[in-house]
Amino acid sequence: MRLREYLEELRVCEDGKLGEKGLDNNFPIFLRARYNEIIYFLKKNLDYNLIKLIEKDYKKNHIFSYKKGPVDLQVINWIPPNYLEDYPFNYLSEKMGLLKKRFEIYNMTITLHPHKTSEISWEKSSRFAVQVLEDIARQAINNNLSLCLTETMAASNFSRIVFYPNSGDQQ
């Protein structure tokens, strides 16, 4: 699925149905990018606030909050090694192998954590997560960064996985 197509689906989706499009807590965005450039982008963007930095060995974990709504971003300079093995679709071994091969190019993960507050419902916080995803997608498009969204699919519908760039995308 194309990135712009998925973002448009999210824009027109009712707040309460964003989970059906995959946008939920722990929504991962995989990128092939220079980690420090993504951190710089988030730090200079007035919509984000750095909450915490955790460094252990060579792994970095920056945690940002989105100032416009209750969404936290966890930005790590690695891909969790068991990420794909934990999926319910790993029984589709042939397609899984192809996905793993394509997945090897990514070097960092941004995980979105929308959350409800006493003033803002879960559904509304998910709408704020769409805004954050659009910011990250715009950064990928503007800087020709490879991006993958795996949470956009049903258990066996690999055509719903978003890759950018995808064949036919304008760069």
- Residues in a beta bridge with 31: 108, 147
Q: What is the pLDDT of residue 135?
A: 97
Say whether pLDDT at 67 is over 80: yes
**Residue-wise pLDDT tens digits, 89-111:** 444 555 666 666 777 889 999 99
pLDDT at 169: 55
d(CA 46, CA 112): 18
- Contact call for residues 80 and 59 (beta carbons, < 8 A): no
Please compute the mean of the pLDDT values over residues 116-142 and round it to a whole number: 94
**pLDDT at res. 60:** 95
Residue 80 has a pLDDT of: 83
Cis peptide before 88 (omega within 30 of 0): no
Kindly report, residue by residue over 23-52, the tens digit of the pLDDT.
Answer: 889 899 999 999 999 999 999 999 999 999
Q: Are 17 and 9 in contact (CB under 8 A)?
A: no
Phi, psi of 19 (to 5 degrees): -60, -30
pTM for the model: 0.88
Tokens found for residue 94: 């042939």
Q: What per-residue confidence (pLDDT) applies to 98? A: 64
φ, ψ (nearest 5 deg) of residue 121: -70, 165
Mean pLDDT confidence for 99-126: 88
What was the pLDDT predicted at 171?
A: 44
Does the pLDDT at position 170 exceed 90? no
Specify the pLDDT at position 73.
Answer: 97
Output the pLDDT for position 94: 57
CA angle 80, 84, 89 (to 5 degrees): 155
CB of 152 closer than 8 Å to CB of 24? no
